[in-house]
Structure 1
Amino acid sequence: MARTGQPRLDELSPRAAAAAVRRQLDATDLRAFVRSSPARLIAVGLLLLGLCVIAGVVTATAVSSRQHALDQLLDQAEPDANSAQRLYTSLSVADAAAGTAFISGGLEPKPVRDRYDQAVGEAAAELVTQSSSTGAADPDSRLRAGIAAALPVYSGLVETARANNREGHPVGAAYLSEASNLMQTRMLPMARELQEHRSAAIVATQRHHVRPPWAAIILPIVALAALAGAQWYLARRWHRVLNPGLLLASATLVALLGWIVIAGSISAVSTVHGRDDGSVPTADLTESRILVQQARTAETLKLVRRDASGDYDHTYDDTTAKLTALLGEYPGGAPGSGNVGTAREALDRWKGAHQRMNDALARGDFPGAGSIAIGPGANEAAASVDALDAALADGLGGTRNTLRANVSDAARVLDVLAPGALILALLAAGLVLAGLWPRLREYR
């Protein structure tokens, strides 16, 4: 029985019946939509809250990880690399000083002896530093162990050579050559490998740091897109153009994204400066110091062995050619460039002294050649080598300070970003809740 005043469908014309059915279906869909709106609104709110919180957590984690890596570079990796560089250099200095002392004959001058003793002592101290800072589980422990085992053997050979030299025994030169061969073929290659590994750790951290933290950038953008979509949905459903809470949440995420991009860019730029003005020139200057000592060793061994084969001259020429190229290619505006200019002048004086030494040897004037090689004059080989090495050491100090300053700047820029990202993300989540709450209350 149909309700009073409402005709039955079979009493209507086909067209009127179809229209009545459509009206009933539309009313049913509308009631279903209204009943489902709170659930949809809650789902939208949970999605926005989750995206805001996840964006904050991911950003804070990424920033903390990067800052920790920079702090570790500053507190451990860079000091380890500097220690390895000092070990490498000290061993080279010791080998060159041993030859210089031997040329003096009998009791060598005290400054020359002190230089050798200081270099050996510094090498031993750096071995201890390397062992204590990295531990036995370090993959380079075999290198440290190899150098530590060979160092007393080398020192013993040098002392035997000196003892025989004081007694006037020619065999002393053979012992010194054996010691230098041990240094050049075993100890220095291991020290070089150790130094390269330590420097590679710095470069790897710098390379990783200049890459953008994509997750920390993309997630806030996704959250912003979701907020924009939610505002469009609310505008259609409630016919309001703007939702103050969602609008403020969007502004908060925009601030977070801008902070990430700006702070990350500044930190990356500081890292690049640390690499280009610190790590790279430090490696060049370290290599230059090693080449100086290798050339000096070849020069002194030629006198010790009174070699006429030309092998030591070939080593000296090749080594100084590499040294000249390194110093000539050093950037003019880089830290330590003034010291490199001083080093070039000292290298020119040394080459001139070396040529005069060879000319004296060609005349059979061995005492004169020895005087040129180890004499106290400012234009003699010994003084030139000392000035060259001192200039390079000063340059290394400047590049190291530049590296550490830039790494410190890169880390400090990120100091408050990690907690700030969490605070801003939670603030955005709170603003989302504040923006949706009035709409939810409409269904109570």
Structure 2
Amino acid sequence: MTYAPDAPAVPGTPPPASGVLPPRPPAGPAGPPAGRGAWAEGAARLRAAATTEPGRLRVLGAVLAALVVTFGAVTAFEVSDRAAAADDVVSRSQPLSADAADIYRSLADADTAAAGGFLAGAQEPAGVRERYEKDITTASRLLVKAAANTDGSSRSARDIAILNEYLPRYSGLVERARAANRQGLPLGGAYLRYANQQMSTRMLPAAERLYAAETARLGQDDRDARTWPFLSLGAGIVALAALLWAQRRTYLRTNRVFNQGLLAATAASTAVLLWLVVGHGVARAELDEARAHGQDSLEVLNEARINSLKARADENLTLVARGAVLTADGRSDKYETDYGTGMGRLTAALTRAAALADDPAGGDPVADAARRVVEWRQRHKAARETDDGGDYEGALARVIGAKDSTGESFDEVDAALEKALVHEQGEFTRAAEDGRAALTGLPAGAAVLAALAAAGAVMGVNRRLSEYR
């Protein structure tokens, strides 16, 4: 029996009748090695293609297009985020911060007006009554607005709930005080003191926390808007460096100075990078100006105005209580002590506001308020001396009288501070809107220019590929 030399016998298999095994069929093409899948095959073909110049050009075109598109996408995303933060500063955060300050001011002014009206006697002046009602209405309206723009689970929402709960209670106590005062009952003073206690221990602290929270949110939005887009800048530098390298490579291999497609891609990428740097730089500068010459001044002026209102309310309550409420140590009149503390804070705030004012329109009202505060202190001292001498009616005239009274000085201080606040609010709004405008159009422009740059890069590489066909 004869076997083919390379055909080993298979045990258990009978030999053919002729005694000669048929020839083995030719082996098929070798399959991929075990464990080597489609991805490995693709990588192997890519490496093989990269060994030729057309293959390398195709890889180069794909990489350049990917880098430019990534640059455009990252820029559009980051700048959109900065633009949204800048828009929040202008249209949401700062207005809410200003509203929170107005809530505090309205409540403090209502307390001042209530005490002033009580001191005027049974026939409360119509102007004082109207001022009180206007303050209560303003506070109620702004609380509704704040509630609509605040997250229900936040601390601000809880403070708004406290204010909404205690505002009608406070108004009710004031009305009881007025009713008792009209009847000549001394119980009216007790009601008014209790109303002031609710205002000073419950409502004003909640309003102050609300103002602090909204001001902190404004600061966060401002920082978000001013943060440099480092990812976009890095992606732009990498994309531009790759395009310049590709053009140099083309020049060294072909001795052609320019490749029109790559040149267009480089120009578009450079335009996006410059637009990004200049646009964000301008926005950052304007927002810095809004914060330094607007918001910082607004915070100090609001602090000054609030302290003037609190001092005025304490001054009025000194005459209402007539020594019935003492400090914790029992040695001094509480309202007179609080008045001195408030005036000290008012003077310090005016000093800071004068240092922050950067033009006469903002500095002159602050200087005028400071002069009126000095006058207020002098008149208050005279009023206290008159009251301590036993002349209550004379002291009352020096505090709430129409002429040469501490009330007149307070009104002049408040008017000067309001004028300064209006000016600084305008300065902030102008600078912040300019900062927001500097980012307008940049996200869309970056996306369009990046798409053009990617197309130019692909066209430039295809122009080189056509030379191999």
TM-score by length of 1: 0.88
Once the 2 structures are TM-superposed, how far is the Cα of residue 137 of structure 1 from its aligned partner? 5.1
Cα distance per residue 1:20-61 (max 9 Å; x no partner): xxxxxxxxxxxx899622121111100000111111111122
* One-letter amino acid of the counterpart of residue 389, structure 2: R
- Secondary structure in structure 2 of the residue aligned to 1:376: coil
Once the 2 structures are TM-superposed, how far is the Cα of residue 232 of structure 1 from its aligned partner? 3.4
Looking at structure 2, the residues matched to 230 and 425 of structure 1 have their Cα atoms a distance apart, in angstroms, of 17
Cα distance per residue 1:124-147 (max 9 Å; x no partner): 111112123336455421111110
Kindly indicate whether residue 151 of structure 2 is the aligned counterpart of residue 130 of structure 1.
Answer: no
- Secondary structure in structure 2 of the residue aligned to 1:134: coil
Match of residue 374 from structure 1: 400
Whose helix fraction is larger, Structure 1's or Structure 2's?
A: 1
Match of residue 322 from structure 1: 345
Kindly indicate whether residue 449 of structure 2 is the aligned counterpart of residue 433 of structure 1.
Answer: no
* One-letter amino acid of the counterpart of residue 369, structure 1: A
In structure 2, runs of 5+ residues without a counterpart are 1-47, 325-331
Q: 1:96 to 1:441 in 2, by over 3 A?
A: same
Looking at structure 2, the residues matched to 199 and 126 of structure 1 have their Cα atoms a distance apart, in angstroms, of 16
Looking at structure 2, the residues matched to 281 and 423 of structure 1 have their Cα atoms a distance apart, in angstroms, of 41
Alignment: residue pair count:
412
Contact 1:336/1:395, CA 8 A, preserved across alignment: yes
190-199 or 433-442: which moved more? Answer: 433-442
Kindly indicate whether residue 268 of structure 2 is the aligned counterpart of residue 252 of structure 1.
Answer: yes
Once the 2 structures are TM-superposed, how far is the Cα of residue 79 of structure 1 from its aligned partner? 2.0
- When Rg is computed on C-alpha atoms for both structures, the one with the higher figure is 2
1:412 equivalent among 414, 433, 437 = 437
Contact 1:252/1:428, CA 8 A, preserved across alignment: yes
Cα distance per residue 1:281-337 (max 9 Å; x no partner): 111111111101110111111100111833222211111111111112222425622
Contact 2:82/2:226, CA 8 A, preserved across alignment: no
Contact 1:203/1:279, CA 8 A, preserved across alignment: no
Match of residue 29 from structure 1: none
Match of residue 87 from structure 2: 71
Match of residue 313 from structure 1: 336
Match of residue 360 from structure 1: 386
Once the 2 structures are TM-superposed, how far is the Cα of residue 438 of structure 1 from its aligned partner? 2.0
Once the 2 structures are TM-superposed, how far is the Cα of residue 361 of structure 1 from its aligned partner? 1.0
In structure 1, runs of 5+ residues without a counterpart are 1-31
Once the 2 structures are TM-superposed, how far is the Cα of residue 420 of structure 1 from its aligned partner? 1.6
Cα distance per residue 1:129-182 (max 9 Å; x no partner): 212333645542111111011011111111111111222222211111111010
Looking at structure 1, the residues matched to 462 and 397 of structure 2 have their Cα atoms a distance apart, in angstroms, of 93
- Secondary structure in structure 2 of the residue aligned to 1:372: helix
Looking at structure 2, the residues matched to 64 and 138 of structure 1 have their Cα atoms a distance apart, in angstroms, of 26
Contact 2:71/2:236, CA 8 A, preserved across alignment: yes
Contact 1:96/1:294, CA 8 A, preserved across alignment: yes
Aligned pairs for 1:2-401 within 5 A: 36-134=52-150, 136=152, 138-307=154-323, 309-330=332-353, 331-333=356-358, 336-377=362-403, 379-401=404-426
Kindly indicate whether residue 459 of structure 2 is the aligned counterpart of residue 443 of structure 1.
Answer: no
Looking at structure 2, the residues matched to 62 and 222 of structure 1 have their Cα atoms a distance apart, in angstroms, of 17
Cα distance per residue 1:185-210 (max 9 Å; x no partner): 11000001111111111111112222
Match of residue 402 from structure 1: 427
Looking at structure 2, the residues matched to 57 and 242 of structure 1 have their Cα atoms a distance apart, in angstroms, of 27
Once the 2 structures are TM-superposed, how far is the Cα of residue 88 of structure 1 from its aligned partner? 0.8
Looking at structure 2, the residues matched to 352 and 58 of structure 1 have their Cα atoms a distance apart, in angstroms, of 63
1:424 equivalent among 432, 439, 449 = 449
Once the two structures are aligned, what percentage of the paired residues are identical?
A: 36
Once the 2 structures are TM-superposed, how far is the Cα of residue 214 of structure 1 from its aligned partner? 0.7
Contact 2:269/2:449, CA 8 A, preserved across alignment: yes
Q: 1:300 to 1:34 in 2, by over 3 A?
A: closer
* One-letter amino acid of the counterpart of residue 41, structure 1: L
Looking at structure 2, the residues matched to 171 and 178 of structure 1 have their Cα atoms a distance apart, in angstroms, of 11
* One-letter amino acid of the counterpart of residue 403, structure 1: F
